[in-house]
């Protein structure tokens, strides 16, 4: 409520925020979480909380009047459609050189993502987070994060027999024939539920194209894991449709936090001011970076250091499809939950997720989201003229990512006698190089913050989300974001509280 005083305020309810809330509550601290998106706990008139990829409706996008599908063409035709403006679950946030996809709602990215829960290879860790001791991460915090998230791998025998992973088996065959390691990767989807979907005994979810705009059944989003545990402590309150706009030192000590309450049209209906002893920035890489850069530039937090806004990367994301021969169908039924990848990281700088195209019809296409070692890093800066935070990323900075992805797919195409699809991202366009699903950095650990996420110029202010990670994790990022948050909050509780 307006004028309230809280011990801890957490901005955002994604991975970092959920870890912070749970561990602080378990330590006996009352926590208030503020989330700009919706609660996503109430079904619409169709009985479902979320819509699916084949019929995007008002629930799909954050304050857009037209969908902006990551794969925006099919057979050369644009597929985007008009929708009512609404505080939907997926934000396609446009910067001048890149569109950054993010989840909006209680659970953050866990609402919209594919659930791939991948721990990086230990050999790669020193380049991911150079200031963090690998032993403590691999002995303690990665296992803790994977347990808390409920990560598990598909049963290989079921994988081999089910129609819904035909596309991934084709991916495996082509990878292995070209000499690339094919790996199963864990996911937070309930695999027993998926087997029941395939058997026809439960309502279909992954097998009904539910991804991107939310998942109604089998995915263990944060609402079912960390946030459920946090609420069960009785110490965690969550305010959805509330957006933090300012944090500044309070005269009486602690911090004054200004919060806009939103309606589902995105309009501000009330502005509230609360005081918090401690504030955790967990608004995601983009959300936290935008807040900190603006608050530094506009004088609310002028002593934040000059590293704030720097070191942002796209996790090297780039997408492509391949056109298979008619004897290699990928299946009309495709599980929307990926379970495997092609690892060419050490030789070629690319790890390719074998991704679904859950269109419901046979496409003879193999589709991949590659995570690459693209070295380019961008910077957020305050634009006083427009009153917005800009990101310096340029479209051409994806070229190293394309080159690294080609180390896998040029070889597979040569071996199989196949070609790239040119009809998925435009008319005669091979590479999906306009977007990322994996924003990382902008308030880098041990640079913008100390080695545990403290914004040291302001005691009691912390960063605890993907903004801490300097641009790349070599695999999908949320397990690393969760594990780093587990490491940092343990230290903060032990030393600062
Ligand atoms: P996260 O973005 O999760 O949460 C931040 C929250 O803060 C959001 O809910 C946001 O609305 C809120 N917020 C922002 N500003 C605010 C403000 N001013 N006031 C109040 N609230 C505010 N990763 C992976 O490991 N495996 C995968 O399979 C995938 N797949 C995938 C698919 C798609 C389509 C997307 C978009 C993303 C993925 N990801 C993924 C990425 C993964 O979801 C992402 O890395 C994490 O959600 C980031 O976690 P954070 O805690 O940093 O922020």
Instruction: Give the pLDDT score at 380.
Output: 99
Token pair belonging to 295: 């608050």
Tell me, what's the pLDDT at 426?
A: 87
Does the Cβ of 104 fall within 6 Å of ligand 1? yes
Q: Long-range contacts of range 489-497, CB-CB < 8 Å, 24 or more positions apart?
A: 489/19, 489/20, 489/23, 489/24, 489/464, 490/23, 491/452, 492/452, 492/453, 492/454, 492/462, 493/23, 493/24, 493/27, 496/278, 496/454, 496/460, 497/27, 497/29
CA dist 42 and 110 (Å) reads: 17
Looking at residue 427, what is its pLDDT?
A: 86
Give the per-residue pLDDT at 327.
Answer: 95
Q: Say if ligand 1 is within 6 A of residue 358 CB.
A: no
Whether 449 and 455 have beta carbons less than 8 Å apart is answered as yes
Gap from CA of 86 to ligand 1 centroid (Å): 19
pLDDT computed for residue 72 by the predictor: 87
Nearest CA to ligand 1 atom 8: 108
Q: How much distance in Å is there from the Cα of 298 to the middle of ligand 1?
A: 26
66, two tokens: 């037209």
> How is residue 369 written in tokens?
């989201």
Structure tokens at 39: 């609660």
Contacts of 361 (CB under 8 A, 6+ apart): 332
If you write DSSP's letter for every residue of 353-417 in order, what string do you get? Answer: EEE----SS---EEEEEEEE-----B-EEEETTTTEEEE---GGGGHHHHHHHHHHHHHHHHHHT
Q: Which of 283, 313, 341, 467 gets mutated to test ligand 1 (max ligand atoms within 8 A of its CB)?
A: 283
Residue of 406, 316, 404 lying closest to 98 (CA atoms): 316
CA-based nearest residue to 116, from 183, 191, 186, 171: 186
Asked whether the predicted pLDDT for residue 372 surpasses 80, the reply is yes
Q: Which atom of ligand 1 is nearest to the CA of 16?
A: 51
Length of the chain: 497
How many Å apart are CA 6 and CA 279, to the nearest integer?
A: 10
Q: What does the pLDDT read at residue 158?
A: 98
**pLDDT of amino acid 76:** 76
How is residue 289 annotated by DSSP?
H
Decide: 116 in ligand 1 pocket, CB within 6 A: yes
- 477 CB less than 6 Å from ligand 1? yes
Residue 73 has pLDDT above 90, yes or no: no
CB distance 13 to ligand 1 below 6 Å: yes
Average pLDDT, the chain: 97
Pocket flag, ligand 1, residue 284 (CB < 6 Å): yes
Other Cβ atoms closer than 10 A to 64: 18
Q: How confident is the model at residue 174 (pLDDT cuts 50, 70, 90)?
A: very high
Least confident of 76-85, 245-254, 367-376: 76-85
Q: Is 481 in the pocket of ligand 1 (CB under 6 A)?
A: yes
> Considering the chain, what percentage of its residues have pLDDT values greater than 90?
96
- Mean pLDDT in residue range 164-190: 98
pLDDT score of 33 more than 80: yes
H or E element: which one contains 193?
A: helix 191-199
Tell me, yes or no, if the pTM score tops 0.95. Answer: yes
Average pLDDT over residues 50-75: 93
Q: Does 1 have pLDDT greater than 80?
A: no
Q: Which residue has 């088996």 as its token pair?
A: 169
Residue 234 CA to residue 211 CA, distance in Å, equals 31
Q: Please choose, from the candidates 33, 19, 12, the residue with its C-alpha nearest in 3D space to the C-alpha of residue 276.
A: 33
Q: Where are the alpha helices (DSSP H) in 129-182?
A: 134-136, 142-149, 156-161, 166-177
Distance CA 249, CA 229 (A): 31
Measured in Å, residue 399 CA sits from the centre of ligand 1 at 25
Nearest-CA residue for atom 31 of ligand 1: 113
Instruction: Give the phi and the psi of residue 447 in degrees, each rounded to 5.
Output: -125, -70
State mean pLDDT over 408-433. 95
User: For position 23, what pLDDT does the model report?
Assistant: 99
Atom in ligand 1 nearest the alpha carbon of residue 107: 9
Q: Does 34 sit in the ligand 1 pocket, CB within 6 Å?
A: yes
Q: How far apart are CA 244 and CA 275, in angstroms?
A: 12
Among the listed residues 101, 144, 224, the one whose alpha carbon sits nearest the alpha carbon of residue 490: 144
Instruction: Please report which confidence band the pLDDT of residue 171 belongs to, taking 50, 70 and 90 as the band edges.
Output: very high
Cα of 160 to ligand 1 centre, how many Å?
A: 32
What positions carry a catalytic annotation?
A: 353, 438
Amino acid 74: pLDDT: 78
| pLDDT per position as a tens digit, 99-151 | 999 999 999 999 999 999 999 999 999 999 999 999 999 999 999 999 999 99
Indicate the pairing of strand 242-249 with strand 182-184. unpaired
pLDDT in tens, 292-338: 999 999 999 999 999 999 999 999 999 999 999 999 999 999 999 99
The pLDDT value recorded for residue 4 is 93
The predicted-structure confidence for 13-30, as pLDDT tens digits, reads as follows 999 999 999 999 999 999
For a ligand 1 pocket test, name from 63, 98, 103 the mutation site with the most ligand atoms within 8 angstroms of its C-beta: 103
SS3 assignment, position 231: helix
Q: What is the pLDDT of residue 75?
A: 74
Which whole-number Å values give the CA distances from 110 to 13, 51, 125, in the listed order? Answer: 10, 16, 23
Q: How far apart (Å, rounded) are the C-alpha atoms in residues 317 and 439?
A: 9
With a 6 A CB cut-off, is 113 part of the ligand 1 pocket?
yes
User: Is 341 close to ligand 1, i.e. is its CB under 6 Å away?
Assistant: no
How far is the centre of ligand 1, averaged over its atoms, from the C-alpha of 320 (Å)? 23
pLDDT band, very low/low/confident/very high, at 3 (cuts 50, 70, 90) = confident
Strands (E), 214-254: 236-239, 242-249
In 90-171, beta strands by DSSP E:
90-94, 99-103
Per-residue pLDDT at 2: 84
Name the residue at shortest CA distance from atom 32 of ligand 1.
113
* Residue 406 CA, distance from chain mean position: 24
pLDDT number for residue 183 = 97
How much distance in Å is there from the Cα of 282 to the middle of ligand 1? 9
Nearest by Cα to 243 from 9, 13, 36: 36
User: ipTM of this model?
Assistant: 1.00
What is the pLDDT at residue 405?
A: 98
């Amino acid at each position: 409520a307006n004028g309230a005083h809280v011990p801890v305020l957490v901005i955002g309810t994604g991975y970092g925020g959920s870890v912070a809330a749970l561990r602080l509550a378990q330590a006996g601290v009352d926590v208030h979480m503020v989330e700009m998106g919706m609660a996503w706990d109430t079904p619409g008139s169709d009985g479902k909380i979320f819509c699916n990829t084949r019929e995007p409706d008002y629930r799909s996008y954050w304050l857009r009047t037209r969908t902006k599908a990551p794969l925006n063409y099919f057979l050369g035709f644009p597929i985007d459609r008009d929708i009512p403006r609404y505080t939907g679950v997926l934000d396609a946030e446009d910067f001048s050189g890149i569109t950054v996809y993010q989840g909006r709602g209680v659970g953050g990215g866990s609402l919209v993502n594919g659930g791939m829960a991948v721990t990086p290879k230990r050999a790669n860790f020193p380049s991911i987070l150079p200031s963090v001791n690998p032993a403590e991460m691999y002995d303690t915090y990665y296992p803790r994060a994977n347990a808390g998230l409920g990560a598990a791998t598909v049963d290989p025998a079921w994988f081999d027999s089910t129609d819904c992973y035909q596309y991934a088996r084709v991916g495996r065959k082509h990878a292995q024939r070209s000499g690339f390691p094919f790996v199963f990767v864990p996911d937070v989807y309930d695999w027993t539920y998926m087997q029941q979907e395939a058997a026809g005994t439960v309502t279909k979810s992954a097998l009904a194209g539910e991804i991107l705009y939310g998942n109604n059944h089998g995915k263990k989003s944060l609402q079912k894991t960390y946030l459920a545990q946090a609420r069960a402590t009785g110490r965690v309150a969550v305010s959805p449709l509330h957006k933090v706009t300012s944090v500044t030192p309070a005269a009486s000590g602690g911090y004054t936090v200004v919060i806009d309450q939103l309606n589902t049209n995105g309009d501000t209906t009330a502005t509230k001011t609360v005081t918090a002893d401690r504030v955790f920035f967990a608004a995601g890489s983009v959300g936290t970076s935008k807040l900190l850069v603006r608050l530094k530039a506009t004088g609310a937090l002028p002593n934040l250091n000059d590293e704030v806004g720097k070191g942002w990367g796209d996790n090297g994301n780039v997408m492509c499809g391949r056109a298979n021969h008619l004897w290699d169908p990928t299946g009309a039924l495709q599980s929307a939950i990926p379970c495997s990848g092609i690892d060419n990281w050490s030789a070629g700088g690319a790890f390719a997720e074998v991704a679904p195209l859950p269109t419901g019809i046979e496409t003879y296409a193999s589709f991949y989201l590659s995570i690459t070692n693209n070295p380019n890093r961008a910077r957020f800066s305050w634009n006083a003229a427009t009153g917005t935070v800009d990101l310096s990323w340029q479209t051409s900075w994806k070229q190293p990512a394309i080159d690294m992805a080609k180390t896998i797919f040029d070889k597979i195409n040569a071996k199989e006698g196949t070609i790239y699809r040119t009809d998925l991202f435009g008319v005669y366009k091979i590479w999906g190089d306009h977007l990322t699903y994996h924003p990382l950095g902008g308030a880098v650990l041990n640079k913008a913050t100390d080695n545990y996420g403290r914004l040291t110029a302001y005691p009691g202010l912390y960063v605890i989300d993907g903004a801490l990670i300097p641009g790349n994790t070599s695999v999908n990022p949320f397990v690393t974001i969760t594990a780093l948050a587990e490491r940092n909050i343990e230290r903060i509780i032990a030393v600062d509280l």
